[in-house]
Amino acid sequence: MTDLARAGVADTVRLIASGEHTARQVTEQALRRIADRDDELNAFSVLLAEEALAEASARDAAQSAGAPLGPLHGVPIAIKEELDVEGVVTTFGGEGNSTPAAADGEVVRRLREAGAVIVGKTAMPEFGAFPFTESDAFGITRNPWDPTRTPGGSSGGTAVAVAAGMVPAGMGGDGGGSIRIPSASCGLFGLKPQRGRVTTAPHPHLWWALGTAGPLTRSVLDSALVYDAIRGNVEGDLYTAGGDESFVDAVGREPGRLRIGWTTKAVTLGVKPDPVHVEAVQETARLLDTLGHDVREVDPHYPDPTAAFVPQFFAGIRTEADLVEHYDRLERRTRETYRLGSWVTPKVIEWALKQTEKISRKANRVFDDVDVLLTPTLAHRPPEVGRLDGVGTVRAALRAMPSIAYVALWNVAGNPAASVPCGVAADGLPVAVQLVGRTDDEATLFSLSAQLEQARPWPLTAS
Report pLDDT digits (tens) over 420-450: 999 999 999 999 999 999 999 999 999 999 9
Catalytic residue among 80, 185, 192, 223: 80
**Pair 154, 174: CB distance under 8 Å:** no
pLDDT for position 7: 93
Catalytic residue among 45, 178, 447, 449: 178
- Residue 404 within a domain: yes
CA atoms within 13 A on the CB side of 110: 23
Does the pTM exceed 0.85? yes
Q: Is the pLDDT of residue 344 over 80?
A: yes
Residue-averaged pLDDT of the chain? 97
Q: Is the pLDDT of residue 370 over 70?
A: yes
- Largest Cα separation within the chain, whole Å, is 61
**Pair 164, 144: CB distance under 8 Å:** yes
**Pair 159, 174: CB distance under 8 Å:** no
DSSP string, 403-415: HHTTTHHHHHH--
Residue 98 among the catalytic residues: no
Q: Provide the domain count of the chain.
A: 1
Structural domain boundaries, residue 358: 9-455
Report pLDDT digits (tens) over 349-368: 999 999 999 999 999 999 99
Of the chain, the end-to-end C-alpha distance in Å amounts to 18
Residue 80 among the catalytic residues: yes
Once rounded to an integer, what is the mean pLDDT over residues 200-227? 96
* Distance separating alpha carbons of residues 431 and 1, to the nearest angstrom: 31
Cα distances (angstroms) measured from residue 107 to each of 90, 222, 394, 440: 14, 16, 33, 20
pLDDT for position 348: 97
Q: Is the pLDDT of residue 1 over 80?
A: no
**Contacts of residue 368, Cβ cutoff 8 Å, sequence gap at least 6:** none
Predicted confidence band at 418 (pLDDT cuts at 50, 70, 90)?
A: very high
pLDDT for position 3: 80
CATH of the domain at 356: 3.90.1300.10
Report pLDDT digits (tens) over 258-300: 999 999 999 998 999 999 999 999 999 999 999 999 999 999 9
Residue 183 among the catalytic residues: no
Q: Is the pLDDT of residue 72 over 70?
A: yes
The residue among 105, 127, 111, 70 whose CA lies nearest residue 234 is 105
Report pLDDT digits (tens) over 73-119: 999 999 999 999 999 999 999 999 999 999 999 999 999 999 999 99
* Distance separating alpha carbons of residues 224 and 246, to the nearest angstrom: 8
Q: Is the pLDDT of residue 380 over 90?
A: yes
* Distance separating alpha carbons of residues 156 and 275, to the nearest angstrom: 24
DSSP string, 62-77: HHHTTPPPPTTTT-EE
- Residue 463 within a domain: no
User: What are the beta bridge partners of residue 430?
Assistant: 424
- Residue 394 within a domain: yes
**Contacts of residue 135, Cβ cutoff 8 Å, sequence gap at least 6:** 93, 94, 123, 124, 125, 126, 331
- Residue 2 within a domain: no
- Residue 1 within a domain: no
Measured CA angle at 364 (ends 170, 205), to 5 deg: 45
Once rounded to an integer, what is the mean pLDDT over residues 379-401? 97
Residue percentage of the chain with pLDDT more than 90: 97
Catalytic residue among 45, 121, 135, 154: 154
* Distance separating alpha carbons of residues 212 and 316, to the nearest angstrom: 12
Query: Which residue type does 388 have?
Result: L
pLDDT for position 4: 84
**Pair 163, 86: CB distance under 8 Å:** no
Once rounded to an integer, what is the mean pLDDT over residues 154-182? 98
pLDDT for position 2: 66
Q: Is the pLDDT of residue 307 over 80?
A: yes
